[in-house]
Every structure is written in structure tokens, then in C-alpha cells.
Amino acid sequence: MTWVLANLGLIWARTLDHVVLSLPPIVICFVIAVPLGWFARRYRVSRGIILTGAGLLYAVPSLPLIFVLPAVIGTSLLSPVNVIIALTLYGIALMVRVVADGLDSVDADVRQSASAMGYSTWSRFWQVELPLSGPVLLAGMRVVAVSTVSLVTVGAVIGVQSLGSLFTDGFQRGIQAEIIAGLVATVALALLFDGALVLAGRVLMPWTRRVAPPKPSVPLEVSAA
Amino acid sequence: MIEFRSVSKRFPDGTLAVQDFSLVLPSHKTTVLVGSSGSGKTTLLRMINRMVDPTSGSVEIDGEDIASLPPVKLRRGIGYVMQNSGLLPHRTVLDNVATVPLLRGTPKRQARADALAMLDTVGLDRALADRYPSQLSGGQQQRVGVARGLAVNPNILLMDEPFGAVDPIVRAELQQELVRLQKELDKTVVFVTHDIEEAFLLGDQIVILREGGRIAQVGSPADLLARPADDFVASFVGADRGRRVLHVERHGDGNVVVDSDGRLAGVLNGEPVAGTSAGSSAGSTPGAEGDR
């Protein structure tokens, strides 16, 4: 505990590093996964290719990926961009399937009636299908957020500063308190991100909260009034 | 006026849903397409707003071939009500009703004010405006569906078994409501159902369909009952049995009407009309009992 109190500044700085590394992958993977997931759902062939590809991508171990990326995209070995891109790829791998499943979950009747109302394919996607797949997308994004926050720590092994640096440093110098502090702060950050997503879901999808089963007696009286 | 000109539809899987269908649907009348499943009635309905495009033949609205109109624009001008209401679950009742006006670019304030007034038209309490569809009963959802279909004041209203999924009491209520609305609004309504009673209640013109969208008979309810074209129609409308086949029996000083099962259907007010020829009436004398 004394170590923690003496190093609050360090923990805070690493926490900020951690946020800076984990926010971009979470946001970017969503932005990229939505059109990819839509495309995967659109045609049978593209579904097979994209979903299998995403599955394989997720199977690539993170540490080698972070090592190999600089060679592929020409960044320096120590650049935080490597970590951000690697984690974005993982996020996409997870979310593409979720987006495809989420769009599948939209009631066919609703989709059809939206078309019959005169929604174009484009407006129907943005105003009907995407919002209605919201609950599924949110569930996927919660997994992505938590796993991204935890995977950012791997970057510490190649020297990209984050809360993971507290593990590596703690191990090397034998400071147990530092390791535990890193662990606790990482978990706390993951919970914070998760909570923020849940909150955003409540604000953006008010209809999911007010789904009380219709009580037959009350509404009937109202209609009779 | 809506006109089908020798329309056929073959789906990609090879099913021939509609075969050489021609029909005129007069303006300001309710035309009911009735048939069992597989009769192509829903396919025919969906051709009117280009949800389905015919494989051959054409559909015209007021003399204009709709194949030349962009589907999205066409649909925004035609009301559509479907069986499971098809309401957008993530929009409130009011926003659902305002959907099409907003798509057509009506200012939001105006669209919402109109939608609120439309709730009155279909007999819904304004207090329901802020609810989500999942918070309504089935009957209320269908009313919202009808309000949405009417929101842009379209000339044409398409209804695809709109009352099929609600319980019989609510259905009867909604049917009466539609009769009232139609008197008020005078739309060209195309209504699809498999329920002949519903067809008789709502239809000015009834189209009885056989498998594959072939017309068995077109006519007013009275036409179909009095002069069924064949046994198929007769059995479909029930003109050959039960409580549709009535005859008069003399009972003391008055005449009572009895159905073919021998159940008393009512009393005849005044003298039975002798009919055009004495022999053809369904039995204006007690002797008609011999028909059974």
C-alpha cells in the first residue's frame, strides 16, 4: 500500500496511457465492423468469406501480431500505433460476426413493413435495422471493450507504456504491490468502460427499458375511454 | 383505379404464385381478395406498391404503369397495413404514425401534430402517443398500424390480413371501425383475407381466388351468394350449406326463416316475395321443406 501511495502519479499516468491506447481500437473497430457485418449479411458468399476470415484473425496470438505489424505497415517497433492497430483487428474480428448476427435478429416483419412504408435501403439500414440490432451490438461491444482494455497490457512487453508496464516493472524489480496495483487498475478501467457502454445503451435505446408486458386490463380501459 | 393486366409472377424458386391475372379495382371502393393460402392474394397486393414486381404483365394506377415509378416514392404515397402491425419497435406510437410524413419531408412539428390528430381518427387515446408498441395490446397495435397507413392521406390503402392476429372480439370491433373509417375517408381499399365473413362485411367487390392467383369469381357479396359461378365458389362462400341457405316456413299466421340445418334464423317481416318466377324461389311455402 505504501508503494501505491508513493506512486499515485505513476499509476495515474499509466492509466491515462492505457485509456489512450484502448479507446481508439474500441471506436474504430465498431466503425469498420458495421459496414463489414452488413456486407457479410448481404450475400451468402461474402458471409462465408468475411466471417471465416474474422474468425481466423481472432486466432492469431497477440504478441506475435504486435511484433509483425511494424514490418507489414512500416511503423517503428516501439510505436503505440502497432498496439492500436492490432487491437482494432481483434475488435473487428469479434464485432463483424456480432453485427451480422445483430442485423439477422431484426424481425423480418418490421423490415418488410419499413420497406412498404417507403424507406430506401440506405435509410432503412440506418433508421431501422441498425438501431434495432442495438442490444446485440451493445453486448458485443461490452466484450470488445473489456478484452481490449485487458489486451492493451500486452503492449508493455514490447515497451509500449500502459498499466501493463506496472506488471512488467513489478516483475523485474520484484515489487508485488506494483503488480497488484496494475492488475486492480486494469480491472477497474475495464469495468468503467463496460459501465459507460451500458449507460450509453440506456440513453440511446430507451425502448429496451420500457418493455413492460402489456397488462390487458389497463390498456383496454384506456382505449375504451 | 388500379388495374392488373395479365399479370404473372414466378418466384426464383420456381413457384408460380400468380398466373395471367387481370382485374380492375374501382376507385373509392373496397376490393377484397379472398382465398386460402397459396392463392397468391398477398403477392397480388404487394404488386400494387412494388414490394413484388410481376414477371410479366403490368399493374396500372390511374392509367399509369407503376413499373415506371421509383418504388420508394410510390410506396410513400400508398398506405400499407399488415398482419402483425409491423410497427417499428424502437419508435413511440406517435413517431410510428408520423413515419411516412417525415420520410416525405413534412416538418417534424407538423408531422407530429397530424399524427396526434390521426390517433383520434382511428379511435386511440392520445395518452398512448408516447408509448412503445410493445406496451400496447394487439388491437391497439393494429389501430396504430391503420393510423400509420392513413397518415399521408393516401388514395390507396393496402391491408394484408390486418385483423388476422387479434382475438375475435377485438377483430369484430376493428372491422366495424374500418367500415366507419371507409365511409368517412372514401379510400380505394385493397384488403386481403382468408375469412369470407370478413370479406362480405367489408367488400364492395370480392375476388375469390383459386390456387395460383386464378380468379374463381368476381362480384358483390350478393352476386357471389345468389349466383356462385361454380361449386368451388359456392362452397367457399358457404352458399350450399348451413346458415347461408335459408328457407321460409309457415308457422301459424307468420313466416319464419330456417337454415339448412333446421335452425331457426329469424322471422320474415311481411309476405315473402314470390320471386321472379314462382318455381325458382327458395321455397315460399311449407312445401319447401321437401328440399331438405
Mark which residues 94-113 of A lie under 8 Å from B by CB.
107, 109-110, 112-113
How many Å apart are CA B16 and CA B57, to the nearest integer?
Answer: 14
Say if A207 is an interface residue toward chain B (CB within 8 Å): yes
DSSP B222-257: HHHHHS-SSHHHHHHHTTTSGGG-EEEEEETTEEEE
Residues of A in contact with B134 (CB under 8 A): 207, 210-212, 214
- Determine whether the interchain pair A119/B103 forms a contact, defined as Cβ–Cβ distance below 8 Å: yes
- Residues of B engaging A, defined by a Cβ cutoff of 8 Å: 49, 51, 72-77, 80, 82-91, 99-100, 103-104, 123-125, 127-128, 131-132, 134-137, 139-140, 143, 148, 158
- Nearest chain A CA: its distance from B70 CA (Å): 10
How many Å apart are CA B83 and CA A149, to the nearest integer?
Answer: 46
Task: Give the one of A113, A210, A222 whose C-beta lies nearest to B82's C-beta.
Answer: A113
- Determine whether the interchain pair B90/A117 forms a contact, defined as Cβ–Cβ distance below 8 Å: no
Please indicate, yes or no, whether residues B113 and B254 belong to a single structural domain of this protein. Answer: no
* Average pLDDT over every residue of B95-120: 94
- Determine whether the interchain pair A223/B75 forms a contact, defined as Cβ–Cβ distance below 8 Å: no
Chain pair A-B, CB pairs under 8 angstroms:
94
How many Å apart are CA B23 and CA B1, to the nearest integer?
Answer: 11
Residue A54 and residue A97 in contact, taking contact as beta carbons nearer than 8 Å: yes
Question: How would you classify residue B137: left for phi > 0, otherwise alpha for psi between -120 and 50, otherwise beta?
Answer: beta
Residue with cell 407503376: B66
Q: Give the model's pLDDT for residue B48.
A: 96
Quote ipTM for the complex.
0.80
End residue of a domain, out of B197, B216, B237: B237
Q: pLDDT truncated to tens, each residue of chain A (225 aa)? A: 788 888 889 999 999 999 999 999 999 999 999 999 999 888 888 888 888 888 888 888 888 888 888 888 888 877 888 889 999 999 999 999 999 999 999 999 999 999 999 999 999 999 999 999 999 999 999 999 999 999 999 888 888 899 999 999 999 999 999 999 999 999 999 999 999 999 999 999 999 886 555 554 444 444 443
Please indicate, yes or no, whether residues B227 and B254 belong to a single structural domain of this protein. Answer: no
Chain A residue whose CA is closest to B125: A223
Q: Give the model's pLDDT for residue B242.
A: 67
Task: Report how many domains make up chain B.
Answer: 2
* Average pLDDT over every residue of B213-221: 92
How many Å apart are CA A104 and CA A83, to the nearest integer?
Answer: 32
Residue A185 and residue A178 in contact, taking contact as beta carbons nearer than 8 Å: no
How many Å apart are CA A118 and CA A126, to the nearest integer?
Answer: 14
Chain A residue whose CA is closest to B89: A207
Q: Which of A105, A109, A117 is the best residue to mutate to test the B interface, defined by the most B CB atoms within 10 Å of its own CB?
A: A117
- Determine whether the interchain pair A210/B127 forms a contact, defined as Cβ–Cβ distance below 8 Å: no
Q: Give the model's pLDDT for residue A211.
A: 56
Please indicate, yes or no, whether residues B173 and B29 belong to a single structural domain of this protein. Answer: yes
As a whole number, the mean pLDDT across chain B is 87
Task: Report how many domains make up chain A.
Answer: 1
Choose among B175, B121, B83, B213: nearest CA to A108. Answer: B83
Say if A210 is an interface residue toward chain B (CB within 8 Å): yes
- Nearest chain A CA: its distance from B90 CA (Å): 5
CATH of residue A108: 1.10.3720.10
Please indicate, yes or no, whether residues B122 and B55 belong to a single structural domain of this protein. Answer: yes
Please indicate, yes or no, whether residues B108 and B52 belong to a single structural domain of this protein. Answer: yes
Show the domain range for B259.
242-291
- Determine whether the interchain pair A119/B72 forms a contact, defined as Cβ–Cβ distance below 8 Å: yes
Please indicate, yes or no, whether residues B10 and B128 belong to a single structural domain of this protein. Answer: yes
- Nearest chain A CA: its distance from B134 CA (Å): 6
Q: What is the pLDDT of residues B226-263, one digit of tens each?
A: 888 888 888 888 866 666 778 888 887 788 888 877 88
Please indicate, yes or no, whether residues B18 and B64 belong to a single structural domain of this protein. Answer: yes
Q: Give the model's pLDDT for residue B7.
A: 94
Q: Give the model's pLDDT for residue A45.
A: 84
Within 13 Å, how many C-alpha atoms sit on residue B232's CB side?
Answer: 14
Q: Give the model's pLDDT for residue B252.
A: 79
Residue B278 has pLDDT above 50, yes or no: no
Show the domain range for A166.
2-224
